[in-house]
């Protein structure tokens, strides 16, 4: 019988609906299977603009979502929007984390911070970014990573206007996304949109790119396990999960 003491209990705050089914899928793929709660948060506009993303990740929105996780037994919570954290800058991300930790009294993080930690975990010094976002939003992700001495050798921005549109991209399109936006000097390819499905194709993405690929939902789940203190090497989930900290 599985020892429930080793099962991770994680809450994910996810804005709207796009690729949230990646989280229960990842919960079933890890061993032991994780117990998760996905809470859909509200926002004013589904748009990849700095203004809309800043509102989406505002403390009142996070507090509203966190209220639905109280007394749920979670051990950690993630704000799972990469762009709606990094557009607020480092101080804004710290405010998001502090807001969630005070609201729920458990460790918290964001997908943007998960990317910074994951890149370090796999010892990648140079990265290529395959972003769904418009140019101005993608450039803010590059600036965020550079705070952690991560060198961006290629930045591709594809101008997809909404999370809903990104969520419709299927396997072949996502695999092309990884391979076509690679760079020979990159140690890893980063795909930063939590609206993009990836959980089912993590190993295929790395085969397509010929190197480690980090996706938003992958690093978010990894970060949740790490915060719970229940991160162990896993197979079938890409280089990141196979790496022992």
Same-domain pairing of 83 and 158: no
pLDDT at residue number 1? 31
Number of residues assigned to the chain: 245
Q: What is the mean pLDDT of residues 141-166?
A: 85
Residue 194's nearest CA partner among 120, 85, 102, 91 is 85
Query: Per the domain annotation, does 84 fall within a domain?
Result: yes
The total of structural domains in the chain comes to: 2
Whether pLDDT at 163 is above 80: no
Is the pLDDT score of 3 beyond 90? no
Question: Quick one: 227 and 171 in the same domain?
Answer: no
User: Tens digit of pLDDT for each residue in 120-135?
Assistant: 999 999 999 998 888 9
Q: Are residues 96 and 129 in the same domain?
A: no
pLDDT at 168: 67
Same domain, 134 and 103: no
pLDDT tier for residue 195 given thresholds of 50, 70 and 90 = confident
Dihedral sign for Cα 215, 99, 6, 12, please.
negative
Question: What CATH number does the domain containing 168 carry?
Answer: 3.40.50.12500
The first and second tokens of residue 21, run together, are 């089914």
183 and 166 in one domain?
yes
**Which pLDDT tens digit goes with each residue over 97-120?**
999 999 999 999 999 999 999 999
Please tell me whether residues 200 and 230 are part of one structural domain. no
Together in a domain, 13 and 109: yes
132 and 106 part of one domain: no
Q: What is the mean pLDDT of residues 158-164?
A: 65
Q: Is the pLDDT of residue 65 over 50?
A: yes
What is the span of the domain harbouring residue 160? 121-215
- Percent of the chain residues topping a pLDDT of 70: 93
What is the model's pLDDT at position 2? 43
pTM to 2 decimal places: 0.94
Give 207-212 contacts, CB < 8 A, sequence gap 24+: 208/175, 208/176, 208/178, 208/179, 209/178, 209/179, 209/182, 210/182, 211/182, 211/186, 211/187, 212/122, 212/124, 212/187, 212/188, 212/238, 212/239, 212/240
73 and 130, same domain (yes or no): no
C-alpha–C-alpha distance, residues 221 and 78, integer Å: 8
**What average pLDDT score do residues 180-202 get?**
93
Residue 17 lies in a domain: yes
- Average confidence (pLDDT) over 205-233: 97
Tell me whether residue 203 is in a domain. Answer: yes
The whole-angstrom separation of Cα 163 and Cα 22 is 14
Residue 242 lies in a domain: no
Average pLDDT of the residues of the chain? 92
């Amino acid at each position: 019988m599985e020892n429930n003491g080793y099962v991770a209990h994680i809450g994910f705050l996810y804005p709207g609906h796009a690729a949230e089914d990646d989280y229960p899928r990842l919960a079933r793929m890890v061993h032991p299977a994780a117990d998760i709660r996905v809470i859909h948060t509200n926002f004013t506009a589904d748009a990849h603009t700095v203004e809309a993303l800043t509102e989406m990740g505002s403390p009142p929105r996070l507090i509203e979502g966190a209220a639905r996780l109280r007394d749920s037994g979670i051990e950690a919570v993630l704000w799972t929007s990469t762009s709606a954290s990094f557009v607020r800058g480092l101080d804004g991300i710290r405010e998001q984390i502090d807001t969630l930790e005070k609201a729920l009294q458990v460790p918290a993080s964001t997908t943007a911070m998960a990317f910074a930690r994951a890149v370090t975990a796999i010892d990648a010094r140079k990265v290529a970014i395959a972003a769904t976002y418009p140019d101005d939003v993608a450039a803010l992700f590059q600036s965020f990573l550079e705070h952690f001495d991560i060198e961006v050798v290629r930045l591709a921005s594809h101008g997809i206007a909404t999370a809903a549109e990104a969520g419709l991209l299927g396997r072949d399109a996502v695999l092309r996304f990884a391979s076509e936006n690679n760079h020979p000097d990159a140690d890893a390819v980063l795909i930063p949109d939590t609206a993009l499905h990836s959980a089912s194709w993590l190993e295929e993405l790395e085969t397509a790119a010929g190197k480690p690929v980090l996706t938003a939902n992958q690093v978010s789940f990894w970060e949740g396990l790490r915060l719970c203190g229940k991160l162990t090497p896993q197979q079938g989930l890409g280089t990141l999960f196979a790496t022992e900290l």
